[in-house]
């Protein structure tokens, strides 16, 4: 057996290595007397890094009482709020299959083309509580419950295809580290603090996910503009029992789009419910969000040839290696009737799969199969939460489970067991149609050990960073500088820079310079050197962003006397391009335009800042511009629009307001009468402007 390959890096001057059972080396800062880590019943724990598996790449064993106790305690820490993903919003819709996978699976939902399967989708942040805001830098949950004719199928994923850890036994540690620090109760909904980076600095398997978390993926413009990933490898099983590995992807029809960091921060004060409101307004207006559903399919033999282990949740399968096949679409077309009854009470489970789909041995997935069910027992009050309408299957279901808290059905008859001979209509098992697991051949010695194939922590992190555009690389580096600047413990900052030097030398140096380090710390220790993998343009946002205004919003700032014809022309051009147009005025009642007509406003200037829009137009008379020249909200409106790299249309009055605000026009500031040029500019951010408005790492 090999040592656990997830080597951790030590503080340079005060570390001693210890060994935990089969687990290999971990590192802890020396000094002080550390008590033994034990179970709640006092049993010393030999390895707190690895769950008990049938073999290094095998399934996690139910007998692992240490894993079950740790996860179960974690699952029940908060009632009734979700431990993670507490802040969320959701919508009803349907899934339509457009290409059959009958060659690979017997699952009807993936073989019956044209059938529309009802579903419910919930989006969420991870770290913040239910009362936090929509727009922090955070991973977004992307969970879909499909009510198939064979039972509920839940795809419980994120907007990022990888995760921080390789083994579920570390999940409580990860979340305890990223949540608010327990002695002070802050920061809320943010990773920029000591405990998170202390954990990450000692857990190099998290570095790849950290690159994603520090990218613009975690500050999305809209929930309608994020990708979704099932994260883990699953299996598809066909009628003959053959298995094919699969990864699930959701790709937004509107394309990817993110905010910039300063904008995301200001959105938290502009509208705590920005993403929730955006989704609600889109559905209410009939602009139904839509995603393509795609799969990556590969055999065991193909997986064996990958330069990484697909069972490692900190790794992805590049699209250039295994192309995506689009096989369906998801449309969200109905807002919940009651937020609590549906969005808040919906319960997702990775264990909700249907015949023809099965699990892989991914050790993070294996732990999730226990954790999610266990969590809902506390959060929803007992074992009958599946009877809540949002969770109940829409196909018939029958079993011999009885009683329990909040039992809402009234089972009849004397039989509550199987087999029985006393009831002709008693449910029976169905060997032919029922769920069957893949007959995987498992061998090897059981133990708490990480497979050697999980050992490379830096190659895909390097691939991700180097695949980004120059602008996106600068954003990642700047995000790391911002976050690590909030870390008070100096040696943790040094450890993190050491990891970044392993990812990419230039990245480590940029972050070190941004932190004001006099000299570079040593690069992190590693048993597996990072490899240079081919760049993957599919990992970008800017590089594959659609030049479109569809699904976006344009704000037009007006005051008394604004040119009515110009406002109408801009509104028509933006609407024709697929955007929603909102009028902003000093007073919510609106403003009388040049034609004497009152144009009602969608928002008051002081409460409707430019962060809420993808592009803006400033249409003001001379008197209107002068009236706003001493109005702080007006100055901020144009300064923020410019600073957030948005296209700005101006007339003479708008130009005067820009001058008052100290904004020097560039190519993204266009004459309002040239509506074609404005619409073209509004379809993207003005990335060339960024170096002139902020210093990036």
Query: 10 Å Cβ neighbour count for 186?
Result: 9
Residue ranges, the chain, pLDDT below 70: 1-32, 43, 78-79
The Cα 582–Cα 562 span in angstroms is 15
Cis status, amide bond into 6, omega within 30 of 0: no
DSSP per-residue string spanning 612-629: G-SEEEE---HHHHHHHT
Report the DSSP pairing between strands 140-148 and 151-158.
Answer: antiparallel
Contact status, residue 140 vs residue 275, Cβ threshold 8 Å: no
Q: What is the pLDDT of residue 141?
A: 97
Task: Kindly state whether residue 161 falls inside one of the protein's structural domains.
Answer: yes
Instruction: Pull the structure tokens for residue 9.
Output: 């890096």
Q: What is the pLDDT of residue 15?
A: 35
Cα-based distances in Å from 458 to 3, 160, 529, 536: 18, 17, 8, 15
Q: What is the pLDDT of residue 20?
A: 34
Looking at 359, 387, 415, the residue that finishes a domain is 387
Task: Kindly state whether residue 86 falls inside one of the protein's structural domains.
Answer: yes
Q: Which stretches does DSSP call E strand in 126-181? A: 140-148, 151-158
DSSP per-residue string spanning 372-430: HHHHHHHHTSSTTGGGSTTTS-SS----S----TT--S---SS--SSS-SS-TT-----
The Cα 291–Cα 281 span in angstroms is 18
Looking at 357, 387, 417, the residue that finishes a domain is 387
Contact status, residue 609 vs residue 625, Cβ threshold 8 Å: no
Q: What is the pLDDT of residue 16?
A: 36
CATH number at residue 637: 3.40.50.880
Contact status, residue 664 vs residue 642, Cβ threshold 8 Å: no
Q: What is the pLDDT of residues 124-154, one digit of tens each?
A: 999 999 999 999 999 999 999 999 999 999 9
The Cα 281–Cα 276 span in angstroms is 9
Total number of domains in the chain: 2
Contact status, residue 302 vs residue 221, Cβ threshold 8 Å: no
Q: What is the pLDDT of residue 611?
A: 98
The Cα 346–Cα 89 span in angstroms is 11
The Cα 252–Cα 260 span in angstroms is 20
Give the pTM: 0.90
Instruction: Pull the structure tokens for residue 389.
Output: 């309408």
Domain that includes residue 116, residue range = 65-166+219-387
Looking at 387, 420, 439, the residue that finishes a domain is 387
Task: Kindly state whether residue 476 falls inside one of the protein's structural domains.
Answer: no
Task: Kindly state whether residue 188 falls inside one of the protein's structural domains.
Answer: no
The Cα 252–Cα 159 span in angstroms is 11
Question: What are the backbone angles phi and psi of residue 290, rounded to the nearest 5°?
Answer: -140, 145
Give the 3-state secondary structure of residue 13.
coil
Task: Kindly state whether residue 133 falls inside one of the protein's structural domains.
Answer: yes
Task: Kindly state whether residue 435 falls inside one of the protein's structural domains.
Answer: no
Q: What is the pLDDT of residue 78?
A: 63
Q: What is the pLDDT of residues 453-480, one digit of tens each?
A: 999 999 999 999 999 999 999 999 999 9
CATH number at residue 329: 2.40.180.10
DSSP character at residue 477: H
Residues 6+ apart with CB under 8 A from 18: 25, 26, 27, 28
The catalytic residues are 85, 158
| Coarse DSSP helix, strand, coil percentages of the chain, rounded to the nearest 5 percent | 30, 15, 50
Task: Kindly state whether residue 145 falls inside one of the protein's structural domains.
Answer: yes
Burial class (CB in 10 A: 0-12, 13-18, 19+), 506: middle
Of 280, 358, 294, 353, the residue nearest 328 (C-alpha): 294
Task: Kindly state whether residue 183 falls inside one of the protein's structural domains.
Answer: no
Q: Which stretches does DSSP call E strand in 175-319? A: 228-229, 234-237, 243-252, 290-298
Q: What is the pLDDT of residue 42?
A: 74
């Amino acid at each position: 057996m090999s040592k656990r390959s997830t080597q951790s890096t030590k503080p340079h001057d005060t570390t001693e290595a210890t060994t935990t059972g089969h687990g290999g080396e971990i590192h802890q800062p020396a000094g002080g007397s550390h008590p033994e880590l034990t179970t709640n019943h006092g049993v010393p724990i030999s390895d707190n890094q690895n769950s008990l598996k049938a073999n290094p790449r095998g399934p996690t064993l139910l007998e692992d009482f240490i894993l079950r106790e740790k996860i179960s305690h974690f699952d029940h820490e908060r009632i009734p709020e979700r431990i993670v993903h507490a802040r969320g919003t959701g919508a009803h819709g349907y899934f339509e299959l457009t290409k059959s996978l009958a060659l690979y699976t017997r699952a009807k939902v993936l073989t019956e083309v044209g059938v529309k399967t009802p579903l419910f989708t919930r989006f969420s942040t991870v770290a913040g509580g239910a009362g936090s805001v929509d727009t922090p830098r955070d991973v977004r949950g992307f969970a879909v419950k499909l009510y198939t004719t064979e039972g509920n199928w839940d795809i419980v994923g994120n907007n990022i295809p990888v995760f921080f850890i390789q083994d579920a036994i570390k999940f409580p540690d990860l979340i305890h580290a990223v949540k608010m620090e327990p002695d002070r109760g802050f920061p809320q909904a943010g990773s920029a603090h000591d405990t998170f980076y202390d954990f990450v600095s000692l857990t190099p398997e998290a570095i790849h996910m950290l690159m994603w978390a520090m990218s613009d993926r975690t500050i999305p413009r809209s929930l309608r503009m994020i990708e979704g990933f099932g994260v883990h490898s699953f299996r598809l099983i066909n009628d003959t029992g053959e298995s094919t590995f699969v990864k699930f992807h959701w790709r937004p029809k509107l394309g990817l789009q993110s905010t910039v960091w300063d904008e995301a921060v200001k959105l938290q004060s502009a509208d705590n419910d920005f993403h929730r409101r955006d989704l609600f307004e889109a559905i209410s207006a009939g602009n139904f969000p839509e995603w393509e559903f795609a799969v990556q399919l590969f055999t065991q033999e193909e997986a064996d040839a990958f330069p990484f282990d697909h069972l490692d949740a900190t790794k992805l399968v590049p699209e250039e290696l295994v192309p995506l096949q689009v096989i369906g679409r998801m449309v969200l077309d109905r807002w919940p009737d009651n937020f609590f009854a549906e969005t808040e009470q919906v319960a997702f489970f990775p264990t909700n799969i249907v015949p023809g789909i099965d699990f892989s041995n991914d050790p993070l997935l294996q732990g999730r199969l226990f954790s999610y069910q266990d969590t809902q027992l506390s959060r929803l009050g007992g074992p009958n939460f599946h009877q809540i309408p949002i969770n109940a299957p829409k196909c018939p279901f029958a079993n011999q489970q009885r009683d329990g808290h909040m039992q809402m059905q009234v089972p009849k008859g004397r039989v509550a067991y199987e087999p029985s001979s006393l009831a002709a209509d008693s449910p029976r098992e169905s060997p032919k149609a029922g769920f069957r697991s893949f007959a995987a051949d498992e061998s090897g010695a059981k133990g708490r050990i990480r497979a050697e194939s999980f050992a490379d922590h830096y190659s895909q992190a390097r691939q991700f960073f180097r695949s980004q555009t120059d602008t996106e690389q600068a954003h990642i580096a700047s995000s790391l500088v911002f976050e690590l600047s909030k870390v008070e413990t100096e040696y943790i900052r040094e450890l993190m820079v050491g990891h970044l030097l392993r990812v990419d030398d230039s990245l480590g140096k940029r972050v070190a310079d941004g932190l004001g380090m006099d000299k570079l710390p040593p690069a992190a220790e590693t048993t597996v050197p990072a490899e240079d993998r081919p760049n993957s343009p599919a990992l970008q946002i800017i590089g594959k962003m659609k030049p479109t205004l569809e699904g976006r919003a344009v704000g037009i700032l007006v005051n008394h006397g604004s040119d009515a014809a110009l406002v109408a022309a801009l509104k028509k051009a933006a609407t024709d391009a697929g955007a929603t147009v909102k009028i902003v005025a000093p007073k919510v009642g609106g403003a009388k335009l040049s034609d004497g007509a009152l144009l009602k406003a969608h928002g008051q200037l002081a409460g409707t800042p430019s962060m809420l829009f993808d592009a803006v137009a400033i249409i003001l008379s001379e008197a209107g511009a002068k009236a706003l020249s001493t109005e702080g909200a007006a100055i901020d409106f144009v300064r923020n629009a410019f600073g957030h790299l948005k296209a700005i249309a101006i007339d003479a009055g708008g130009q005067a307001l820009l001058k008052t605000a100290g904004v020097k026009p560039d190519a993204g500031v266009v004459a309002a009468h040239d509506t074609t040029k404005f619409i073209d500019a509004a379809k993207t951010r003005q990335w060339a402007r960024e170096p002139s408005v902020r210093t990036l790492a």
